[in-house]
Structure formats: structure tokens, C-alpha cells
């Protein structure tokens, strides 16, 4: 057999991950067909999607590593593959293994790749979010062929994602090649002689439905006391990070409450393929009690079928397909009694049980890894001959986007909070801390964690929200702003803008927090602070409140007081523009000062929640005007109104000092405009704002410092400020994070 050279892009062993295990099986089987073992065969290589939080030592088959959270790595991987000898790239797709919202960073790889791609989908959603839909559809467009594990997924790809039928291949999940054995030959290894063994294996966590299987065993064992239930597998690493072993402990408690602690046996470990085969051969029956219909693949179910087990399963999509024609028994979701009836059928009728096992085993023979590898080889050969889809327009992803480095943010944060200022890049203790900056830092930390899932960032988030908790003054119902280095508050209540900015940070936190502990404190502080906001007079405070309350309502849409506050502030801001704006001065005040684009962004949100048409256009027009008067007509670069005099309606515009906060606010407003309209011009404006940080400005001088990874405080008449304070650095980091979000 002539094998093309293939590079598999996926998570890789020794990572404890189902995709990594699958990829190892298919790559090893493919490599074996091509003449030599994986790791020694130049025709089979891996590109590993790596979680930077994990320390892993990969095998020699891994020739390139993509850090999940770094967009530039995906582009560099494409460059690497483009000049390699590989003929075809096999992408293993699961949303969660790639960086970015809905795993969209993988598009950076595919957009820049000039090799045929065969994508294997491990998840296909019938009702995806818009982001999930767009990412998967684009992956399909950029793939020469796509492989689905369940036949049902073919119709879903055609109907939901508009994928041409001729592009879709159906290849089952592979299974181990084991003989059809009497389970009793293996039970003595586990001290289970004379028992009837039911097995579940895989990474353990909520959503597996194991609690219902335990209840079913309790019911069935009343008639068949020889029944025992073996639950094999470690707790899923992500579940363990969030909730520890609480799910496993709840299962143990459930068995105890049912009086069957002696019949439920936990093997808390991640097993090798050889050990797994021994467990499968030892088991009489297998159960997958998953509680949801929308599951299009299951490696554990495939393995059990391939080993000829008598299977009871809930009727999720993949189980319906795999267990059809008498290859298993289906029981209703979350119905322990129905599961018990399935088990009792096997326990009470040995002949029937054996017939079901044989049908399963015979069907599974065409799913052994070697047979699956033959089908993959054929698909790879066809892809190599077909080449890259000629009709697909590919866009080049900008490669100049700097890596998102947090060195300076860590440098500026101590156990109290974020320092306000730096002298050069050294924290300036004399100036202490502000709630303004710690609120900015908390917003960034939560947005960064939501996108990147970096656990280290959560440590900073706890510091920042702790600062905000200390800043709240219950006597005033407001947050104090200034704290000295020796932790003494220097005011009783911060400005209206400070209150609004803090509220928005708390809203981001309670929406994006990974656990109820930090979200609970954020909500408590948010609820404490909301009472004072209705009396505020500052349009910028209104803008922050609009943004924060709108964010809050994304999670708690029924919060009446919050909704009324958002709508009230929105109407105030709209009226301020309608009362003051003219065609020549399209603004709500008679001057431009700081953080101006924050008002345009809030106006777009306000228009969306109050009108959905004319009022949105008001926000977009204000933003167009704001960008227009801050664009250098000679160079086309951003030229921000300086804070050394600002810009009055009837006066001259101050050219300096130009501050990073303004560029970041403009970029954020353009991002909101793009999300509202999907007009590509706003992406170009985002790039213009971002390039200001990199030197496309009035002094042709970069504000971002590539050595310290901080951001200089501004453009001054004599040059770039050498100090790299909190506001400036967070403006840069927030802008870079948004650029990463949109792939610019």
C-alpha cells in the first residue's frame, strides 16, 4: 500500500485526554500500515496542541508544539507544515482543545496552510451557538475532506453547516482487536470470581449519568445479588481543578445510601491500553448512562462493542446507531428503572445475552484500528490527489501580532493590588494603588482567563477583586479610589467614573468567573454599589454603567432593577447626544477629554437595547466622527486628542500628550461596532488603533516595549514617556486581547 506522508494535528499523549488517546491509536495504526512503528516512521508525525499549564514530555513522533493560547503558534505551525515533506494534514477537531472563543484559533492554522487537510470531527452540534457554527463551517470550507464518526453527523453537516455531501466521509471510531472471550477467564485477576460484572470506564465527571447507573444496580441487585459495578477512570483533570473529587464522592455516597457500597467498585486511575483491555475482557456487561441526546461519538461505547460486551445505554445519537439491530439495549435517559430492566434482561437470559454479545462483536470487527486505518489511508490518498480546495478563498493572517506577555503586569502586582505608576518599568511605591486600575486589571484578568484558561491569571484576579472588596465604603455606598503604599485610604469615595468602571469590572467577573466563590463576591459588591448609580451626572459614568449592566443582564436577564438602570442610563446618553450633537460636532459635550470612545461604545449598546435601528446608527455616527477628527490626514495614522489642553468645540486640538487609554477605548468601540454590524471596515479601524501602539502615530515611535512587555504612558512633544504605568499597560493588554479575539 502506498501511504502518503501525514501529520496529525491534535492533543498528544501523555496528556490525559480522549482526543490524545484517539490520535495515538489512529496515528500508530496508520504508521504500522506504512511499515514502521510510530516515532520511527517519517510518514507519520504529530503537531501537539499543548496546554502551557501542563508539563509534558512528548515522544519523538511530535515534531512541533502549538501552545493552545498563543495565536502566533498556529501561524508558525502552518509555515512549518508548508515547507515540510508532509502530503496531508489530519486535524482532529474538538472545540475545547484549541484556543480562542469556540476554538477559533485553529482557523489561523488552516487559513495559512497550503496542504490538503482532512478533518475528523469529534463533536458536531445540531444547535450550535453562532460562534460554534461559524468556526465549524469555516473548518469544513478549508478542509479537502471531513470525517464523521457517526453516520447521523453527515446529515447534520449538510443541513446545519451547508457542507457538500461529496466532502463528507463516515469512518467509525476504532476499537481494540481482541478475541471473543468468556469474561470468567479474567475475573480472578480482580478477585471477582463468581460475580456478574458491569463496567463503565473513562474520565469521570458530572454529565456522565453514572449516578443513575448506580441506582439501576441497586434495583437489579435485589434479584441478582451477584451483580457488581466497576467504575474505572480518573476524575477529568478540568473537573478536578474546579470541584476536586466532589462528583466521585457523591457517587460513593449514593452507593452507600442505596446499600450497595460493597457492589460498586471504583478504580481511580487512568489506565494503559493493555490494562483497559483486561478490564473490558473481564466485564460481562457495559453501560453508558449519558443523560443527553446530543452526543455524536463515544470511544468508550465503541471499545465495549468491539470487545463483544452486552451493552445497556441511554439512546444518545451515537448509541442509537451503534446498538441498532439487536447489538445492545437502550434505556431511557435518567431512568434507573429502565436501565435496571435492561440489566435484568441480560442477567436472566444467558442465551439472549450471548447472542447480543456476538452481534456486537461481529459488527465491531470492521471497526478494529487496522481496518479503520485502511479507510483513513484511502481518504488521505484521495485528499493528496485532490489538493487544497481551489474554490475556497483563504486570507493571510497577520503575523506581526505580538505575543501576549504578562511579565510587566506581574511585576506591578503585589499582594495588595496593582501599583498605579512606574518609574520607567519599576513599580513606583510612592504613588500607591487605585481602585480605577485594579478594576481595569480585574476586567482584563477575567477576559484573559475566559479566552486563554490560564490558571495563573486567576491568582491575580483574586488579588484585584480583594482590593475592590476593601475599597467599598458601606457608609457612602461607594468605592474609595486612592490607597497609599502603607494601605491607608486617602479618600472616602471615588469619582462617578470610578464607580462605573468598577461596576463594569464586577459584571465581567460574575459572568466570566469559573467558580461561584469569586462570582458570588462580584455579585455582592455589584448589588451593594448599584443603589448610588441612578443619581450620577457624568456621561462617562453612564457609559460604564450601561456596559456593566448590559453584561450583567447577559447572565441574569430577569434582574428588573439592573434592566431599569441600564435602560434609564441608555436613554440619558442618547438624549445627551440628541441635544448637543451637530453635523460638525457630533458629540454630547462641548469638549473632548479622556476615554471618549467609551461613550460611542455605550451609545451603540444603548441603541441596541432601546431601538435596534436608528439609535444604533447614532452610536456608529459618533464613532465615525470621533475617528475622523483623530486621524492624521497626511499619514492616515491615528492622532489622538492630547490631554495637554484637550479639544474644545471652538478651540484648537491639543496634539500631546496622547495616551494609550484613548487608543484602547477607540479599538474597543470599533470592536463593538463590528459585532453590531459585521461591517469589515470596523476591523480595519481596529487595526489602525492597534498600530498606534506599535509606532503608526505622530512620532513614528512604538508605545509597546518589547523588552519589558509594558506600555509607555504616552506620546509627549519631546518623545515617548519612559514610564510604564498600570493604565497604559492594561490599555495595551486589553487591545491585544481584542485583536486576538477577532484574528486581526
**Lowest-confidence pick of 45-49, 270-274, 322-326, 567-571:** 270-274
The CA distance from 469 to 458, in Å, is 16
Mean pLDDT of the chain: 91
More confident residue, 693 or 451: 693
Helix (H, G, I), strand (E, B) or coil at 560: helix
* pLDDT of residue 393 exceeding 90: no
CATH T-level assignment (fold) for domain 404-536: Glycosyltransferase (1.50.10)
454-506 pLDDT per residue, tens: 778 888 999 999 999 999 999 999 999 999 999 999 999 999 999 999 999 99
Write out the DSSP string of 651-675: SPPP---B-HHHHHHHHHHHHHHHH
- Residue in this structure with the C-alpha cell 441574569, named with its chain if needed: 556
* pLDDT of residue 395 exceeding 80: no
| pLDDT for the residue numbered 398 | 44
Helix (H, G, I), strand (E, B) or coil at 36: coil
| pLDDT for the residue numbered 743 | 62
- C-alpha grid cell, residue 690: 492597534
Q: Which residues pair with 592 in a beta bridge?
A: 647
Banded pLDDT at 271 (limits 50, 70, 90)? confident
| Residues, the chain | 744
| pLDDT for the residue numbered 609 | 85
| Average pLDDT score over residue span 373-382 | 95
276-292 pLDDT per residue, tens: 888 888 999 999 999 98
Residue-wise over 222-252: b if at least 16 C-beta within 10 A, else e? eeeeebbbbbbbbbbbebbeebeeebbeebb
| pLDDT for the residue numbered 486 | 95
| pLDDT for the residue numbered 296 | 87
| pLDDT for the residue numbered 396 | 47
* pLDDT of residue 88 exceeding 80: yes
* pLDDT of residue 397 exceeding 60: no
| Average pLDDT score over residue span 141-156 | 95
| pLDDT for the residue numbered 45 | 95
Region 183-367: CATH code: 3.40.50.2000
- C-alpha grid cell, residue 706: 518589547
* pLDDT of residue 741 exceeding 90: no
DSSP conformation class of 570: H
* pLDDT of residue 44 exceeding 80: yes
- Residue in this structure with the C-alpha cell 469590572, named with its chain if needed: 505
| Average pLDDT score over residue span 7-17 | 91
Region 6-174+370-386: CATH code: 3.40.50.2000
**Lowest-confidence pick of 63-77, 230-244, 317-331, 439-453:** 230-244
Banded pLDDT at 543 (limits 50, 70, 90)? very high
Sort residue 454 into left (φ over 0), alpha (ψ -120 to 50) or beta: beta
The Cα angle at residue 406 between residues 483 and 547, in degrees rounded to 5: 65
| pLDDT for the residue numbered 744 | 61
Q: Are 281 and 186 spatial neighbours (Cβ–Cβ below 8 Å)? A: yes
- C-alpha grid cell, residue 128: 450550535
| pLDDT for the residue numbered 253 | 95
| pLDDT for the residue numbered 696 | 93
* pLDDT of residue 742 exceeding 90: no
Sort residue 652 into left (φ over 0), alpha (ψ -120 to 50) or beta: beta
**Lowest-confidence pick of 135-139, 165-169, 516-520, 599-603:** 516-520
For residue 555, CA distances in Å to 247, 487, 513, 541, 558 come to 25, 34, 12, 22, 9
Say if residue 192 is exposed, middle or buried (CB neighbours under 10 Å; 0-12, 13-18, 19+).
buried
* Close Cβ partners of 64 (under 8 Å, ≥ 6 residues apart): 47, 48, 77, 80, 81
Helix (H, G, I), strand (E, B) or coil at 148: strand
| Average pLDDT score over residue span 71-94 | 93
The Cα angle at residue 288 between residues 285 and 293, in degrees rounded to 5: 145
Amino acid at each position: 500500500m502506498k501511504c502518503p506522508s501525514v501529520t496529525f494535528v491534535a492533543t498528544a499523549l501523555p496528556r490525559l485526554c480522549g482526543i490524545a488517546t484517539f490520535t495515538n491509536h489512529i496515528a500508530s495504526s496508520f504508521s504500522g500500515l506504512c511499515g514502521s512503528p510510530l516515532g520511527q516512521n517519517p510518514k507519520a508525525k504529530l503537531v501537539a496542541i499543548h496546554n502551557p499549564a501542563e508539563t509534558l514530555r512528548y515522544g519523538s513522533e511530535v515534531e512541533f508544539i502549538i501552545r493552545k493560547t498563543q495565536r502566533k503558534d498556529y501561524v508558525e505551525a502552518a509555515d512549518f507544515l508548508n515547507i515540510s515533506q508532509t502530503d496531508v494534514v489530519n486535524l482532529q477537531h474538538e472545540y475545547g482543545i484549541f484556543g480562542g472563543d469556540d476554538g477559533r484559533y485553529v482557523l489561523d492554522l488552516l487559513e495559512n496552510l497550503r496542504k490538503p487537510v482532512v478533518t475528523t470531527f469529534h463533536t458536531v452540534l445540531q444547535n450550535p451557538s453562532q460562534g460554534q457554527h461559524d468556526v465549524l463551517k469555516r473548518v469544513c470550507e478549508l478542509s479537502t475532506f471531513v470525517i464523521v464518526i457517526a453516520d447521523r453527523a453527515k446529515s447534520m453537516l449538510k443541513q446545519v453547516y451547508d457542507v457538500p455531501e461529496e466532502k463528507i466521509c463516515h469512518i467509525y471510531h476504532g476499537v481494540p482487536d481482541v478475541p471473543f472471550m468468556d469474561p470468567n477467564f479474567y475475573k480472578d485477576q480482580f478477585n471477582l470470581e463468581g460475580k456478574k460484572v458491569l463496567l463503565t470506564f473513562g474520565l469521570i465527571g458530572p454529565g456522565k449519568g453514572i449516578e443513575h447507573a448506580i441506582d439501576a444496580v441497586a434495583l437489579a441487585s435485589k434479584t441478582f445479588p451477584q451483580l457488581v459495578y466497576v467504575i474505572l477512570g480518573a476524575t477529568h483533570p478540568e473537573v478536578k481543578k474546579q470541584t476536586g473529587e466532589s462528583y466521585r464522592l457523591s457517587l460513593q455516597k449514593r452507593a452507600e445510601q442505596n446499600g450497595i457500597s460493597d457492589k460498586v467498585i471504583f478504580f481511580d486511575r487512568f489506565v494503559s491500553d493493555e490494562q483497559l483491555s483486561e478490564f473490558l475482557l473481564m466485564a460481562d456487561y457495559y453501560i453508558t448512562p449519558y443523560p443527553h441526546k446530543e452526543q455524536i461519538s463515544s470511544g468508550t461505547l465503541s471499545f465495549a462493542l468491539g470487545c463483544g460486551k452486552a451493552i445497556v445505554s441511554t439512546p444518545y445519537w451515537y448509541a442509537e446507531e451503534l446498538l441498532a439491530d439487536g447489538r445492545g439495549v437502550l434505556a431511557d435517559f435518567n431512568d434507573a428503572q429502565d436501565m435496571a430492566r435492561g440489566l435484568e434482561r441480560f442477567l436472566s437470559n444467558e442465551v439472549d445475552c450471548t447472542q447480543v454479545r456476538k452481534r456486537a462483536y461481529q459488527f465491531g470487527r470492521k471497526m478494529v484500528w487496522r481496518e479503520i486505518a485502511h479507510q483513513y489511508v484511502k481518504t488521505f490518498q484521495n485528499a493528496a490527489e485532490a489538493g487544497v480546495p481551489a474554490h475556497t478563498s483563504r486570507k493571510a493572517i497577520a503575523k506581526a501580532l505580538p505575543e501576549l506577555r504578562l511579565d510587566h503586569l506581574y511585576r506591578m502586582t503585589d499582594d495588595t493590588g496593582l501599583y498605579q505608576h512606574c518609574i520607567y518599568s519599576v513599580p513606583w511605591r510612592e504613588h500607591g494603588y487605585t481602585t480605577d486600575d485594579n478594576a481595569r486589571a480585574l476586567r482584563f484578568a477575567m477576559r484573559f482567563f475566559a479566552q486563554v484558561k490560564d490558571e495563573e491569571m486567576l491568582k491575580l484576579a483574586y488579588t484585584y477583586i480583594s482590593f475592590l472588596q476593601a475599597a467599598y465604603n458601606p457608609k457612602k455606598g461607594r468605592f474609595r479610589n486612592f490607597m497609599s503604599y502603607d494601605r491607608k485610604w486617602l479618600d472616602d469615595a471615588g469619582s462617578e467614573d470610578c464607580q462605573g468602571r468598577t461596576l463594569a469590572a464586577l459584571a465581567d467577573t460574575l459572568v466570566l468567573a469559573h467558580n461561584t466563590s469569586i462570582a458570588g463576591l462580584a455579585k455582592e459588591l455589584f448589588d451593594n454599589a448599584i443603589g448610588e448609580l441612578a443619581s450620577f451626572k457624568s456621561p462617562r459614568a453612564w457609559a460604564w454603567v450601561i456596559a456593566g449592566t448590559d453584561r450583567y443582564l447577559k447572565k441574569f436577564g430577569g434582574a428588573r432593577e439592573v434592566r431599569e438602570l441600564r435602560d434609564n442610563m441608555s436613554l440619558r446618553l442618547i438624549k445627551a447626544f440628541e441635544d448637543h450633537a451637530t453635523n460638525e460636532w457630533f458629540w454630547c459635550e462641548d469638549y473632548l477629554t479622556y476615554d471618549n470612545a467609551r461613550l460611542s461604545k455605550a451609545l451603540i449598546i444603548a441603541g441596541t437595547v432601546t431601538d435596534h435601528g436608528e439609535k444604533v446608527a447614532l452610536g456608529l455616527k459618533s464613532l465615525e466622527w470621533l475617528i475622523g477628527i483623530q486621524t492624521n490626514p497626511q499619514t492616515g495614522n491615528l492622532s489622538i486628542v492630547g490631554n495637554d489642553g484637550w479639544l474644545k468645540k471652538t478651540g484648537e486640538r491639543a496634539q500631546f500628550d496622547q495616551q494609550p487609554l484613548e487608543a484602547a477605548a477607540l479599538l474597543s468601540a470599533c470592536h463593538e461596532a463590528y459585532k453590531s454590524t459585521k461591517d469589515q471596515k470596523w476591523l480595519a479601524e481596529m487595526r489602525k488603533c492597534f498600530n498606534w501602539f506599535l509606532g503608526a502615530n505622530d512620532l513614528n515611535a512604538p508605545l509597546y516595549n518589547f523588552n519589558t512587555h509594558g506600555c509607555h504612558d504616552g506620546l509627549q512633544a519631546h518623545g515617548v514617556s519612559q514610564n510604564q504605568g498600570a493604565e497604559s499597560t492594561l490599555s495595551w493588554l486589553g487591545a491585544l486581547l481584542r485583536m486576538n479575539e477577532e484574528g486581526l
